[in-house]
Structure 1
Amino acid sequence: MLEGCESRWADTGPARAPRISYRMNDAATLLAEPGTLAVFGFGSGVADSDDPRWLRVPLETFDAPAPLEAWQVDGQVQHGRHGALRWSAGGGWLFAALELDEREYGGPAGAARFAYAQLRDFIRSRDEQNVLRIWNYQGAINRGDGDSERYKLFCDGRAEGCGDWFAHGYPAATAIGHHGDANLLQVYLLAGVHAGTAVENPRQVSAWRYPRQYGRTSPGFARAMRLPAQDVLAISGTAAVVGHASAHEGDTAAQLDEILVNLESLLASAGMPAGFDTHAPLKAYVRHGADVPRVREKLRQHLPGVPVLLLHGDVCRSELLVELDGWRYL
Structure 2
Amino acid sequence: MNHATPPLPALEQCYEQADVGTLLADARVLAVIGFGSGFAAADDPRVVRVALEPLAAPCVEVWRGRAPVRHGRAGDLRWSSDGDYLFVAIEVAEVDGDIERASHDAYRQLLAFVQASATPHWLRLWNYFDAINAGVGDAERYRRFCAGRARGMAQWLAGSYPAACAIGHQVASGNLLVYGLAAREPGTRVENPRQLSAWCYPRQYGPSAPTFARALRSAAGQFFISGTAAVVGHASQHEQDLAAQLAETFTNLEHLLAAAHGRFGTDALLKAYVRERDDGAAVAHALAQAVPGHAGALILGGDICRRELLVEIDGLQSLAR
Whether these two folds match at TM > 0.5 is yes
* Corresponding position: 1:322 with 2:311: yes
Partner of 1:89: 81
> CA–CA distance in 2 between the matches of 1:24 and 1:33?
15
| 1:293 positional shift | 2.2
Residue in structure 2 matching 1:271, options 261, 264, 276: 261
Residue in structure 2 matching 1:255, options 245, 270, 288: 245
Partner of 2:152: 161
Residue in structure 2 matching 1:189, options 157, 175, 180: 180
* Corresponding position: 1:242 with 2:232: yes
| 1:228 positional shift | 1.3
Residue in structure 2 matching 1:216, options 207, 213, 216: 207
Give runs of aligned pairs for residues 8-87 of structure 1, distance below 5 A: 11-64=4-57, 66-87=58-79
| 1:190 positional shift | 0.2
Deviations 1:136-183 (A, max 9, x none): 011100000000000000000011112213556000001111123252
Partner of 1:171: 162
Deviations 1:217-257 (A, max 9, x none): 0000000000112x210000000000100000010111011
Amino acid at match of 1:324: I
Give ranges in structure 1 of 5+ residues lacking alignment.
Answer: 1-9
> CA–CA distance in 1 between the matches of 2:299 and 2:157?
31
> CA–CA distance in 2 between the matches of 1:182 and 1:56?
11
CA contact (8 A) 2:9 2:84 kept: no
CA contact (8 A) 1:85 1:97 kept: yes
Tell me, what secondary structure is at the counterpart of 2:89?
strand
The TM-score, its normalising length taken from structure 2, stands at 0.95
| 1:47 positional shift | 1.0
CA contact (8 A) 2:114 2:120 kept: yes
Two-structure CA RMSD over aligned residues (Å): 1.4
Closer/same/farther in 2, CA of residues 176 and 310 from structure 1, 3 Å limit: same
> CA–CA distance in 2 between the matches of 1:328 and 1:195?
17
> CA–CA distance in 2 between the matches of 1:124 and 1:298?
40
> CA–CA distance in 2 between the matches of 1:254 and 1:197?
31
Deviations 1:237-282 (A, max 9, x none): 000000100000010111011111111101100111x2332x2110
Amino acid at match of 2:90: L
Tell me, what secondary structure is at the counterpart of 1:103?
coil
Closer/same/farther in 2, CA of residues 143 and 319 from structure 1, 3 Å limit: same
How many residue pairs are counted as aligned between the two chains? 316
Partner of 2:289: 301
Tell me, what secondary structure is at the counterpart of 1:39?
strand
CA contact (8 A) 1:131 1:191 kept: yes
Comparing 145-154 with 299-308, which one deviates more in the overlay? 299-308
CA contact (8 A) 2:52 2:300 kept: yes
Partner of 1:114: 105
| 1:58 positional shift | 0.9
Tell me, what secondary structure is at the counterpart of 1:248?
coil
Instruction: Return structure 1 stretches of 4+ with deviation > 6 angstroms.
Output: none
Amino acid at match of 1:295: V
Partner of 1:203: 194
| 1:34 positional shift | 3.0
* Corresponding position: 1:180 with 2:168: no
Deviations 1:59-98 (A, max 9, x none): 110113x111000111111000001110001131100000
Partner of 2:299: 310
| 1:324 positional shift | 0.2
Tell me, what secondary structure is at the counterpart of 2:95?
helix
Residue in structure 2 matching 1:132, options 123, 140, 149: 123
Amino acid at match of 1:283: K
> CA–CA distance in 2 between the matches of 1:167 and 1:211?
14
Amino acid at match of 1:257: A
> CA–CA distance in 2 between the matches of 1:232 and 1:126?
22
Partner of 1:3: none
Give ranges in structure 2 of 5+ residues lacking alignment.
Answer: none
CA contact (8 A) 1:120 1:165 kept: no
* Corresponding position: 1:283 with 2:267: no
Identity of aligned residues (%): 52
| 1:299 positional shift | 1.8
| 1:297 positional shift | 1.8
| 1:120 positional shift | 1.1
| 1:294 positional shift | 1.7
